[in-house]
């Protein structure tokens, strides 16, 4: 089985080393960074399976990093922080985090959370096999880790938002998503002010895919409800 890469980011090197020690026997490759800028640098060079990220860091804080990561990736993110107020937790989850742990914590608790998120991401995702993610959708190949879509051996130039709309629908074939659900899932913001943002992005996405809304090949409109990709 291919070893998963876990990136641990905290400006306290002792904490990073301690977490690495506890993860040593879990068949993960551990990568480390000590600030937000260093974290993004590692993410540009490596394919990461999970990110454990401190919030309070120099140069670029964890929330800002989390938002940037979510522009291009759906990997599990666990936020680590000394803040315990509910507002901070809400901010972290709104930024795109999947889980949250407060300091001080026992390293075994973090290990358990990492394993749970990793299991959810890899084993429970029907399109994630053998450490790679490719979704075949008729004549489209969606390369999840590379954030690319290929049609007839040519890469289709999608924006990050267009890619994530297509990915969300493709990973949940048969399920209808309302415009509000798509907006909140992709933009990580409240959908009250989204207006026709999703409609515009769907139209552009269909145009790039060569998908006719009157006779859809990929994205189907369920009138009055939302959008889906057929099973």
Torsion 117-121-124-129 (CA) sign: negative
pLDDT, one tens digit for every residue, the chain (231 residues): 467 899 999 999 999 999 999 998 888 899 999 999 999 999 988 888 899 999 988 889 989 999 888 877 778 899 998 766 667 777 777 788 888 898 888 989 999 999 888 877 665 554 444 444 778 888 899 988 778 899 988 899 888 889 999 999 998 888 999 998 888 888 877 766 666 889 999 999 999 999 998 899 999 999 989 999 997
Strand 28-33 to 4-9 pairing:
parallel
CATH number of 4-122: 3.40.50.2300
Task: Give the containing element (helix H, strand E) for 31.
Answer: strand 28-33
Minimal CA–CA distance to 164: which of 40, 65, 73?
Answer: 73
The residues with which 4 forms a beta bridge, in sequence order, are: 28
What confidence score (pLDDT) does residue 143 get? 87
- Contact criterion met (CB below 8 Å) for 219 and 211: yes
At residue 208, φ and ψ (nearest 5 deg) are -70, -30
Distance CA 218, CA 139 (A): 10
Helix, strand, or coil (residue 50): strand
**Count, residues in the chain:** 231
Q: And the tokens for 172?
A: 């949940």
What confidence score (pLDDT) does residue 52 get? 95
- Residue 13's alpha-carbon distances to 4, 103, 189, in angstroms, are 22, 15, 33
Helix, strand, or coil (residue 1): coil
Distance CA 115, CA 146 (A): 23
Q: Following CA atoms 145, 55, 86, 51 in sequence, which dihedral angle do they give, to the nearest 10 degrees?
A: 30
Helix, strand, or coil (residue 78): strand
What confidence score (pLDDT) does residue 147 get? 83
Q: And the tokens for 39?
A: 């974290």
Minimal CA–CA distance to 122: which of 48, 33, 44?
Answer: 48
What confidence score (pLDDT) does residue 191 get? 65
What confidence score (pLDDT) does residue 128 get? 47
| Yes or no: domain 128-229 corresponds to CATH 1.10.10.10 | yes
What confidence score (pLDDT) does residue 131 get? 45
The domain spans of the chain are 4-122, 128-229
- Contact criterion met (CB below 8 Å) for 8 and 36: no
What confidence score (pLDDT) does residue 54 get? 92
């Amino acid at each position: 089985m291919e070893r998963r890469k876990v990136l641990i980011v905290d400006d306290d090197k002792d904490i990073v080393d301690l977490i690495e020690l506890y993860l040593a026997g879990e068949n993960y490759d551990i990568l480390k960074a000590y600030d937000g800028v260093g974290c993004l640098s590692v993410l540009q060079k490596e394919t990461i399976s999970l990110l454990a990220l401190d919030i309070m860091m120099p140069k670029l804080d964890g929330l800002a990093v989390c938002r940037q990561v979510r522009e291009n990736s759906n990997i599990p993110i666990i936020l680590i922080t000394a803040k315990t107020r509910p507002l901070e937790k809400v901010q972290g989850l709104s930024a795109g985090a999947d889980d949250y742990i407060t300091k001080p914590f026992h390293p075994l608790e973090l290990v358990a959370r990492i394993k749970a998120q990793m299991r959810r991401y890899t084993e429970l995702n029907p399109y994630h096999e053998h450490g790679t993610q490719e979704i075949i959708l008729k004549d489209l190949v969606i390369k999840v880790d590379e954030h690319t879509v290929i049609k007839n051996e040519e890469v289709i130039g999608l924006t990050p938002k267009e890619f994530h709309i297509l990915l969300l629908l493709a990973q949940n074939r048969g399920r209808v998503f309302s415009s509000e659900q798509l907006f909140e899932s992709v933009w990580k913001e409240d959908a009250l002010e989204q207006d026709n943002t999703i409609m515009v992005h769907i139209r552009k996405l269909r145009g790039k895919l060569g998908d006719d809304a009157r006779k859809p090949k990929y994205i189907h409109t369920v009138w009055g409800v939302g959008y889906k990709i057929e099973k």
